[in-house]
Each structure stands twice: as C-alpha cells, then as structure tokens.
C-alpha cells in the first residue's frame, strides 16, 4: 500500500522514527510520500527521502505558514527543485479559512505561486482545503488553466466541489476520518469511486478509530484501506490495487 500523505519528519517522531518506518514496510507499505509544509522543514524532508528509496517527497509551504514564510521563502525553496530527484509534487499548499492562522490574502497569493510553479514544471499539486473549497477551485481554474493535476488531501468538501475537482483532473485523499463513521464521508467515497481516491494517513494527525487520541503513523494505512473496502463492498486487496495504481500515475512512482 502507498501512504500518499505523511509527515514523518515531524518532531512527533523524533524519538522513534526508525521504528515508525520499519512498521510501515512490515505492514505492507510499498511507498511513502513525505509532505513538506515549510521552508524550515525542507532539509528534514529531503534527508528522510535520501535515506530510503521507497520515500518520495513534495515541496511547498502550508497555508498556515503564509504569514511567517512568504513568497520570497517559497521562491528560494523552489530554486533547488531541479537538483532533487525525489520530488514528485508541489505542496502542501492551499487555503485554510477554518483555523485562520494566516491572512486570507497572504494564503491566496502563496497558493497562486504554488499553482503557477506546478503548471510551469509539470508536477501535480498536493492541496490542503478547509472551509475554502470555493476559492481553492477558483484559483485552480484561473491559475492552473486545466494544465495541472493533483489531489485534495483529507477531503472535507461536498459532492459539488468534488465534481469540479474531478473535472480539473484532481483526485481526493481520504485518511483516518473514514473510520469515524460520518455519513457524509461514506457518501463521498461512494460518489468518487476507487478510480478517484488516494489513501493517506496525514500522520501524526487523524489517527483512525478506535485509537483517535494516539499519534498516527503510516503503518495505519491498512486500517484506512479496510474502512474504504467496507464502504464500497470490496476486498482490501481491490482497494489496495486501485489506489496504488492511482498514486503511481499521479506521482510518477516506480511501477
């Protein structure tokens, strides 16, 4: 299985990172997409991938950091893309109007720069959208010009927004929330179907039930696959094969 959205470079894993990685491979993990969220964190993300051929990375600045790290920081981060062979996407980027950790204008400006870079170099986008799907999709339509693909990770929008995302060539990422039981998520998974879904943990966050208060880690990806299999009436193997194929196509992972 492929965890398409993890933050194993997080300080939450400093005490046992080697054991965390060992558990994902022992649990059937095939690849890990390690997602960068700030310019300050990039060296940790880069070094994690350099140490293991099964780990690939994204590069970008999270919308929560849009005030602390601006476009200048992003441009400096992007200046080294050409020398990094493990980068498979731009992000985590997007908009978050729920937490409001950064001014909306700063978030939108930074997001537009990410989309423009993804379009320029032909990499997909890893998008964070919370309480901001209308603006996210509008910017993708304007700045992406239907030339950029990607994933809306930890998808929390409705079916109408999902339909617009599909029309732009985007997939939806689902993680631990699929085990929490909300009818909305169940309906979205059935609406999307396996051909438009990626598996992710977003670790160390969003631990699957019944251990929601524990730290999440990539080894929980089979739990998420099992929950989706139950929703769709499929086997875990069928979910694994389809979502792995989706991840390999989107991120250009080894087949």
**Rounded Cα–Cα distance for residues 220 and 24 (Å):** 8
Residue 202, class by beta-carbon neighbours within 10 Å (0-12 exposed, 13-18 middle, 19+ buried)?
buried
Q: In the CATH hierarchy, which top-level class contains the domain 2-251?
A: alpha beta
- The per-residue pLDDT for range 156-185, each reduced to its tens digit, is 999 999 999 999 999 999 999 999 977 889
- Domain locations in the chain? 2-251
The share of the chain scoring above pLDDT 90, in percent, equals 96
Cis peptide before 87 (omega within 30 of 0): no
Coil/strand/helix, residue 163: helix
Is it the case that residue 103 has pLDDT exceeding 90?
yes
The pLDDT of residue 181 is 76
**Rounded Cα–Cα distance for residues 163 and 154 (Å):** 16
Please name which of 20, 81, 16 lies closest in space to residue 55, comparing C-alpha atoms. Answer: 20
Please identify which residue in the block is written with the tokens 């054991």: 19
Q: What's the N-to-C CA distance of the chain in angstroms?
A: 13
The pLDDT of residue 183 is 85
- Per-residue pLDDT band for 131 (boundaries 50, 70, 90) equals very high
- The per-residue pLDDT for range 57-71, each reduced to its tens digit, is 999 999 999 999 999
Mean pLDDT, rounded, for 66-91 = 95
- The per-residue pLDDT for range 197-229, each reduced to its tens digit, is 999 999 999 999 999 999 999 999 999 999 999
């Amino acid at each position: 299985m492929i965890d398409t959205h993890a933050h194993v470079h997080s300080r939450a894993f400093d005490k046992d990172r080697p054991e965390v990685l060992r558990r994902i491979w022992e649990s059937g993990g095939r690849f890990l997409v390690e997602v960068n969220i700030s310019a300050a964190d990039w060296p940790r993300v880069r070094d994690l991938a350099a140490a293991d051929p099964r780990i690939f990375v994204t590069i970008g600045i999270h919308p929560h950091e849009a005030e602390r790290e601006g476009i200048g920081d992003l441009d400096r981060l992007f200046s080294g893309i050409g020398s990094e062979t493990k980068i498979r996407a731009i992000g985590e980027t997007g908009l978050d109007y729920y937490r409001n950790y950064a001014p909306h204008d700063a978030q939108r400006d930074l997001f537009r720069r990410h989309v423009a870079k993804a379009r320029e170099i032909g990499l997909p986008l890893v998008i964070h959208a919370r309480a901001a799907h209308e603006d996210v999709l509008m910017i993708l339509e304007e700045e992406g010009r239907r030339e950029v693909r990607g994933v809306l990770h930890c998808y929390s929008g409705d079916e109408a927004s999902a339909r617009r995302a599909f029309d732009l060539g985007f997939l939806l990422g689902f993680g631990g929330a699929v085990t929490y039981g909300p009818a909305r998520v169940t309906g979205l998974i059935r609406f999307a179907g396996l051909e438009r879904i990626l598996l992710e943990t977003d670790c160390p966050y969003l631990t699957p039930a019944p251990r929601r208060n524990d730290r999440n880690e990539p080894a929980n990806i089979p739990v998420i696959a099992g929950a989706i299999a139950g929703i769709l009436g499929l086997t875990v193997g069928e979910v694994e094969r389809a979502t792995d194929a989706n991840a390999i196509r989107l991120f250009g992972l080894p087949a």
